[in-house]
Amino acid sequence: MIYNMYIFDRHCQCIYYHDWHRGHTGKAPFDQHTDPLASHPSGGGGGSTTTTTTMTDPRQGMNMSLEEEGKLVYGVVYSLRNLVKKLGQSHDGFIAYKTSHYKLHYYETLTGLKFVLNSDPGVESLQQALRQIYTQFYVEHVVKNPLASATLTSGNVNPETMGAEGFRSGVDRFVRSLTMFDTL
Amino acid sequence: MIFSIYIINKAGGLVYNKDYSEGLSKLTSNEYLVLAGTFHGVHAITSKISPVPGSSGIEMLETDTFRIHCFQTLTGTKFLLVADPQQPSIDHTMKKIYETYSDYCVKNPFQNPEMPIRSEQFDVHLLKLVKSVGGLALSNSNNPYIIGNTGAGSLQSQSAASSSLPPTLPNIASSGLGLGV
């Protein structure tokens, strides 16, 4: 089961967010238009299940906005990456971590772009899938898109305005095609 | 192969650390404290950022050269086991470490649970445990932990055997305790 995905740039900014099977009610802060990071999965053309998913047990601490959550996720992967680097001397050693309920997969490009994907804990390493998302979709639809690159450097990146609809729908299609997408 | 064992108290302070195998960078005692504090904080946050409700904190961290397994007791003490990705039966090892901790630290009336562990008995028995699960790199000839008595006995027989250890062992076992807190 794939839960959600974040992409962070070098300036610790969450430039992309997408969720698929997130266990919370649809009235979470993702629908607030004031949040610059709020991305509407319905815009991806994939008919995401986010807004229709309702769980009897609403997620604890869901009063956190997506922006805040993005910062926490970035902080966690940044700290763990540094910890691993210090212990293991290798440049890109950090692959994933696992808790009782989810597994976080990590992939970092040489340019410092960080791809983070959450799945259920039983999934094998998805680092290759993240790498594929980078090479097949990010490079094709964002790096090669002059409009997207212009907004990327200005430090104010909004996935909705960076002209990367092709990226969003491509990632959506790719993740849905993975065998572990909705099997537990 | 087991690289190291750390014990972190419920406030995030490092109370015990010991390296068993070569392979990872040597850190200063200050860096060990920072590592423990970082892990403690990350552990707390990882349960908050879970995409599904009710998650625990980080249980296993996977890297290309090693894995860090974390076991948190009900009282908040964390046991960190840094091991090779191929190391088998981690759960069993973790349980045995907790058992050893209970026997030689919790049951020790002079041991404050939040303070650094300076117990020779604990050192000796932990070393035996690591040896019995194949945690030491046997090919490494200059490993100071590989000594004559390599029997992989059960825990019951170890208390009797500890009196007949070679005279060098207590020195080795207590040498890694310069925690400087």
pLDDT reported for residue B24: 86
With beta carbons less than 8 A apart as the criterion, state whether B70 and B79 touch: yes
Inter-chain CB proximity A99 and B31 less than 8 Å? no
For residue B16, what is the enclosing H or E element? strand B14-19
What are the tens digits of pLDDT across the range B85-104?
998 889 999 999 999 999 99
List C-alpha distances in Å: A51 to A29, A70, A165, B26, B167.
Answer: 11, 19, 19, 49, 68
Q: Does A98 touch chain B (CB under 8 A)?
A: yes
Inter-chain CB proximity B55 and A99 less than 8 Å? yes
Which residues have C-beta within 8 Å of that of residue A66, sequence separation ≥ 6?
Answer: A14, A17, A29, A30, A35, A37, A38
- The answer to which of A49-53, B2-6, B133-137 has the lowest mean pLDDT is A49-53
Q: Does A97 touch chain B (CB under 8 A)?
A: yes
Inter-chain CB proximity B55 and A76 less than 8 Å? no
A2 min Cα distance to partner chain B (Å) = 10
Identify all chain A residues contacting B59, using CB atoms and an 8 Å cutoff: 97-100
Inter-chain CB proximity A102 and B50 less than 8 Å? yes
**Residue to test with chain A: of B61, B67, B84, most A Cβ within 10 A:** B61
Residue B52, Cβ neighbours under 10 Å: how many?
20
Judge whether residue B38 has pLDDT over 90. Answer: yes
Domain spans of chain B, in order of start: 2-168
User: Does the domain spanning B2-168 belong to CATH 3.30.450.70?
Assistant: yes
Mean pLDDT in residue range A109-130: 91
What are the tens digits of pLDDT across the range B45-99?
999 898 888 888 999 999 999 999 999 999 999 999 999 999 888 999 999 999 9
What distance in Å separates the CA atoms of residue A64 and residue A30, rounded to the nearest whole number? Answer: 10
**Residue to test with chain A: of B14, B63, B80, most A Cβ within 10 A:** B63
Identify all chain B residues contacting A22, using CB atoms and an 8 Å cutoff: 51-52
Q: Which of A3, A86, A87 sits opposite B52 (nearest CB)?
A: A3
What are the tens digits of pLDDT across the range A9-33?
888 888 888 888 776 433 344 433 3
Residue A23, Cβ neighbours under 10 Å: how many?
22
What are the tens digits of pLDDT across the range B144-176?
555 444 444 444 444 444 444 444 444 444 444
Identify all chain B residues contacting A57, using CB atoms and an 8 Å cutoff: 53-54
Q: Mean of the per-residue pLDDT values for chain A?
A: 74
Q: Does A55 touch chain B (CB under 8 A)?
A: yes
Inter-chain CB proximity A88 and B54 less than 8 Å? no
Q: What are phi and psi of A101, to 5 degrees?
A: -115, -15
Residue B73, Cβ neighbours under 10 Å: how many?
13
pLDDT reported for residue B181: 40
Percent of chain B with pLDDT over 90: 52
Inter-chain CB proximity B63 and A61 less than 8 Å? no
Coil, helix or strand at residue A25:
coil
pLDDT reported for residue B179: 45
What are the tens digits of pLDDT across the range A141-171?
888 877 765 555 545 555 555 556 788 888 8
Q: Does A89 touch chain B (CB under 8 A)?
A: yes
Q: Which of A58, A80, A89 sits opposite B42 (nearest CB)?
A: A80
Identify all chain A residues contacting B48, using CB atoms and an 8 Å cutoff: 61, 64, 72
Inter-chain CB proximity B52 and A100 less than 8 Å? no
Coil, helix or strand at residue A119:
strand
